[in-house]
Structure formats: structure tokens, C-alpha cells
Structure 1
């Protein structure tokens, strides 16, 4: 079981920044306004104190923080709880029916075909790419060491560097920066929840924000399709990259392979999800290390004992257990996917409460990681709570989801985060900058609004 709640919480000054949760009902228009500015602000404060909270905002909704009920949703009755219509409406124009959105048989065969891409061997082979990108980031930061550095923008650049290299081997056939900008622009507009979604208006009614970005998305998909066709004609490289592995992917049961559109949609999913979420994790982790210098010093001692010289290897990353604990604790406090949303398809009971078909069932990962029934001193930064993973209920900690739809790239993200964080802590001491605290804001991902500004002092 997870640690029981503590009766003696730390003072606010001793706690890292956190989002203000709703202390009274917001109503439909209030919820819409809050959701468009920061989805975390629609979470009721009760969600960190109770196993389940229900209400109605146009549609009936339930927020579930009980590990047993979450296991039921994500594992035991997964077919009855597909991704919510709002999630699909937001993302489908950008990434089609890729692994992230597809359901049923269409999802299963894609998952089976893509699974070999993310084997331990393939992930381990990517460690040098991650280490080289980390060293380039450290060099950039060193050039700015006389003033504060926005580590959020630096980590976006670093993880994008990694995903571009492992996707297309830097062969210049794909303008990955253009693709990412198009998706980012789309999400900035279309990712904001529509009042029509909250009212349960049918999917065929157009959502204005999602129509505005169509041209940019069309151009982006054309760029990706052209790159895929060029790779098909040229063939795989000696050391296959992500695109080569996807092109070679075959569903072992049906023998199906992905066509160009399916390859493109999954590739775009991996490019965006594969760098945005890791960049956020690293930015928040650096903020937390600057917040607690004792943690930073302990991590640096571990890194210096294990990684004596040269770029950090995949094997060394596995040995950096305390650095991994920092990443785990960061994901508990600031999960990139702060809310998982599902639409119930059948009558059910959760926590002795009735669930009806059409109800929205949310797992607020942000509130789950701070729930007082599940965690000791939940708002505090304590990496050592992950020293014994068996002491933590599997369904109390879900930064990558769980069940058959657990994030396919979780091991990729963890290895990258450990290598980059360790590389930076080995080379710099990080300190907070007065008057520039990051603000946790969630639209589709939980971002530090205003950036993560830190002073980075090179270690001689």
C-alpha cells in the first residue's frame, strides 16, 4: 500500500509550487472559462481528499482517485471505458486514428505492430543519441551561465533534438521543426475545450477552433507523407531509426503492416508525445532540484560515483537509482498528462456509485498523485518515497497510464530523462531565480507557464 496520510503537513514555504484547486462548484460557464485557461483549476479540492467526486456540467461526470476503481477502468473493463469523445475530437485532426486514439481491433493490431520498436534492446541502442543531445544542451547552458536560463525552452530543444535524430537519423528528408510547430499551433487553439463538448453536442457539429488550423495540418501531413515515401524507396539504414522500425513493423497475428497514412499518424504522435512530455518532466525535475539543494547534492554524488567520464551510457542510467527516483517523484507532482478522460459505454458501479452510459469518467492524475488518502505529505518533494516501489500501489501512481493502453514509449522517456538530468547535474549547480516561479497550467499537457528560470553555475 502507499504511505498513509500525514497529520503534520509541511508549511507552504517548504513546498514546491502547486496549482490552486476549486473550492466551490464552478457551474457550466465557470467551468468552461476555467478549462480554457487551466484545466487543473476545474479539479475540485475534494479530489485530493476523497476516493471519488461526481457532478454534472452539461454532462454527468465522475473523478476517480480510488486505486481499485482505477484498475477496474483501465484494466478489467477497458473496453467499456474508451477515450472520451472530447479527447478524440481535439486530437484526431492532428494525429488521425493512431495508437493514441484508435479503439478495439484497429488499436490492437497497431499496438502489436509497433511494440517491437520499443523493445529494451532498441531503447538501449538509442542511449548514445540521448547522451549526445544532453551534452549539446549542457554546452548551450554553459554559454548562458552569466544569467538566468529558461530550462523549459532548453529541454524542449534537447528532447526535440533526440526525437528528430531517432526518428529520421538527421537525414534532412523531413522538416521536423515545421511539423512540430504546426501541431503546437493547432493544439494551442483546438486543444482548448469547447463549450459544445461540455454540453455533449454531437461530434458532427463543427468546433470553430479546430477548423482554423486545417491548412497548417494539411501541409504538415503532406511533408510527413513525402518523407515516408522517400524512405520506402531508399530503404532502411544499417542502424534502423524509428521510421525504419515502423516500416518493418508487422502485426504477428494478422500480418498487416501500416500504410502511409497510418505510419504518418503514428510517427507524428511519437514526435510530439515523445519530446513534449519528456521536456516537461525534465524542466519540472530541474526546478525541483533547484528547490531542494540537498536532493541535488545527493544526486550529484551518485552521478559522480557511477559516471566517471564521458557521455552517460544506457547501462549507467540503469544504475542511477536516486536520479530515477527524482524523475518518478517529478512525475507524481507534475504529470505531463494531468487528466485521463474516458466515456462510459455501459452501466457500472465505481466506489458504490452508479455509472451510466455516456458519463464522462476522469482519472485526474494530478490529484491522484497528491491524494491525502494515498500519500504521506503529498505536496512535498521526497524522491526517496520511490526507493521501494513495491510500497506504492500500482494504481496510485499513473504518469504513463496502465493496463493494455499503458504508454508504449514509457521506457524510452525514462531512459532519456535520467540521461539528460544526470548529464546536467554533473555539470551544473542549479538555483531558483527570485520572482520567477513556474506556474502549473494544463491545457492538454501540464506546462510551467512562464518557463522554468534557473541560475546554472558550472561545476569546476
Structure 2
């Protein structure tokens, strides 16, 4: 390891020492949601306060289990989360609650079986190959690997969702998603005060046209598919169109199908791109770990890129990804609203209290992790305590695409490291900034040398 190994880099967010008031919280969340997490959250099981309304940050695995599993219905997603995402993805799986969520989950679950995910691996390998070609063509110079990974994972998600249908304008959808996330993720004062979602949020209204355009593109692609079925391996649209709730027989309407496909696109490409970007960044500062991963990949791969069948034989690659997800979880903070009184960590929870799961602080909590700020892939030779590691959530609402994302990340990371040596660019260290997701502000600038 070098002296600049990531645990010592100035990329750790300087968490605040005291809870903030409403105006300070608004300013902080519009800049970086992580900045509202008090530093004490990395040393305590639970922290409570009031910012307009009562809130509780929970880092205790037992209490988190109660929120996400044992008393799930009492803790739906907060109004803030729903207000941010509903304009783009409607009442899809990510936003829906109760019975409306359950039937959609039952319908979509078969889509992400191991067999279906493995069948889509060639798309991931092909996207990794195109990324290798682009990096090689750029020559030995600094590249922003955040941009490169976003392009690569969007290639994957658009191909496995719409199989490259001409009716689907991938560039148009990509631009619409980026524009919406950039503005919609900036928390409004109305959100902090808990105002209902029918009260307009000016910034989000400004981008409503882009959202409508994105939905229109997806609608046209779905209609075209109904007239001209795809050939070959079924993609996500095929699988969702042919699926139905095994309990009621209900199938998704075109609008429900569209909203769920857009959910997979919005959530599926950026989160995996961030995981890969942070993984490459960490490896660039730990050449020993990078050499181990390269040796593993080169011993397993039969060509330039990894395959779905290779994934199980790349355990260290998976450990690097798990460690990157621990240090920089794409969903760095999630919030719930208590519907009825409860008790967490012996503390009273009142109806309408906000219960926050600060995943970033959970994954760096000194009560749960040894040397929590250190990049140590070997810690994953043993499983962590349940509910101490939540990059994909847990309980019934665990991310439905987790196995898809992990397979994609292993294939792409192994392929890239097998072909290139990555080194950091001095003075270009990113800052972790969370709006909707935990992004490396300023990009991930690395040099890639062919090996």
C-alpha cells in the first residue's frame, strides 16, 4: 500500500458534530445529503433530534431489522423520497407501498432469477469489451472513469431492457434521466417541512418536460415491441410483459410496465457505474490489491472479457466490490416515516417521526467494523453481521436487481483490470457527494496503462 491509500485520503466526508436547524439542513442537503449526518453516528447505535419534525438516525442492526423486516408496514418510504422520485417513475416498485407494491414485486421477482440474470451476461461482457476498446483508443492519458462507467452500464441496462430497439432513443432517455436527477435530487424546503407532494417544487417542475419526453420514448418502445416481438434471449421488457402475479393473475398495464422499466433504467445503471468507479479509484491507490485482482482475472478469463460463468471463480473481485459498496454505498442514506408508535433501541418513536438509516455511517460505525475507514477487501472472507451491511437494503424490499448488479460489476471490473493498470491522477481526488446517490464529485480521474 502507498501512503495515499484511500483510508487516509481526504475523501472522507467531514461529518458534522452537532445536528442542524431547518435552514442549515436545507442548505446542507442541497449541497450534500451526507453532510447532515452527525459524526457521532459512526460511534453510537442511534442518534435523535428535531429539524422541524422529530427524526432518528439508526445504526443498530437489531433496530434496523425491525424497521426493514419485523415491522415493515409501519415504516414506509418517507414523503421526501416519494416526492423526489414519483414524477419520474410513478407508483412503480421503488415507490409503491402495501398491496400495490406486493403484487408488483411478485410479478417482477421471476424476471431476476439466477437463470434469467445469467442469460443476460453476454450483454454485460459485450459492454465491457466496448469499454476496453474506448480506453485503449484514448491512449495513455488521464480519463474520467465515472463518465466511462456511466456509459458502459447504460449500454448494459438499455440493451437488456429494450434489446437495442430503434424505437428506444437511448441518448434521449440518458439525457432526460441525468437532467432530472441533477435537479430533482435537490431537496426542497417543502420536503423538509413535510408538505404534501401536490405543492409544486419549482426546480422539479422545470424539468417536467424532460420527464414527459422520457416516458413518451418508453411508451413508444413498448408499443413497438407489442407489434414486433423481439427474437433471441428474452430481455427485461419481454419478461415483464409476459409475467403476472402468481396469486391474482394480474399483469402490468402498459403504464405500469413503463414505470417499472424506467425504474430499472434509472436505478440500474447509475448505481452500478458508481460502484465500479469507486472500485477502480480504491484499486488505483492500492496497487497490491489491484495486482491480486488482475492475477485472479487473468487466470480465469479465456479472452479479454469475463463471462457470466466466470463470476463464481472471481471471489477477490467480488470482495473488492463488496468493500467499495461498504465505503461508498450508492444509497448513502434512506429514510422512512413511522405510521404508528414504536420503540427502537429502547427509545420512543412517535407517529410521523422520520426514521433515517444513514447507510454511509452504518458502514463506518466503530461498534460494527474494525478499522472502518480502511479499504480492506480481505475482511469479506467472513460475512458481516446481518443488517450491518446494507448496500441493497434488506428484508422484503431488498433491491430486486441486486444479483444483476453484482454480476455486472464483477464482469466489468475483472475485464478492465485484466487489461489495464490504473493509477491515480494527483490533485484530482473526488469528494463523496450525495444528492440522490453517492457520487464522486469532480469525477474519477485515472490513468490506464495496457498490461
TM-score range, shorter chain: over 0.9
Would the aligned equivalents of 1:237 and 1:244 in 2 still touch at CA under 8 Å? no
**1:88 aligns with one of 82, 86, 108:** 82
Coordinate RMSD, CA, aligned: 1.4
Give the superposition deviation at 1:326: 0.2
Give the superposition deviation at 1:41: 0.6
Name the structure 1 match of 2:266: 272
**1:346 aligns with one of 326, 340, 346:** 340
Would the aligned equivalents of 2:5 and 2:286 in 1 still touch at CA under 8 Å? no
Would the aligned equivalents of 2:165 and 2:221 in 1 still touch at CA under 8 Å? no
- C-alpha separation in 1, matches of 2:43 and 2:250: 47
TM superposition outliers: structure 1 runs of 4+ over 6 Å: 10-13
Name the structure 1 match of 2:185: 191
Give the superposition deviation at 1:396: 0.1
| 5+ long unaligned stretches in structure 2 | none
Give the superposition deviation at 1:197: 1.4
Give the superposition deviation at 1:442: 0.2
Q: Give the match's secondary structure for 2:50.
A: strand
Equivalences, count: 448
Q: Deviations over 1:161-203 (max 9, x none)?
A: 1111111111212012212221221221121111111122233
Give the superposition deviation at 1:235: 2.4
- C-alpha separation in 1, matches of 2:348 and 2:100: 30
Q: TM-score, normalised by structure 2?
A: 0.97
Name the structure 1 match of 2:396: 404
| 5+ long unaligned stretches in structure 1 | 1-9
Give the superposition deviation at 1:73: 0.3
Q: Deviations over 1:256-315 (max 9, x none)?
A: 000011001000010111100000000000000001111001111111222243531112
- C-alpha separation in 1, matches of 2:257 and 2:44: 42
Would the aligned equivalents of 2:308 and 2:407 in 1 still touch at CA under 8 Å? yes
- C-alpha separation in 2, matches of 1:329 and 1:117: 27
Name the structure 1 match of 2:288: 294
- C-alpha separation in 2, matches of 1:11 and 1:184: 32
Would the aligned equivalents of 1:61 and 1:361 in 2 still touch at CA under 8 Å? yes
Name the structure 1 match of 2:126: 132
- C-alpha separation in 2, matches of 1:183 and 1:173: 17
- C-alpha separation in 1, matches of 2:75 and 2:6: 40
Name the structure 2 match of 1:5: none
**2:8 aligns with one of 3, 11, 15:** 15
Give the superposition deviation at 1:26: 2.2
When residues 101 and 126 of structure 1 are mapped into structure 2, their CA distance, relative to the original with a 3 A threshold, is: same
Name the structure 1 match of 2:195: 201
Q: Deviations over 1:210-255 (max 9, x none)?
A: 2111112112211111111111122242321111111011100010
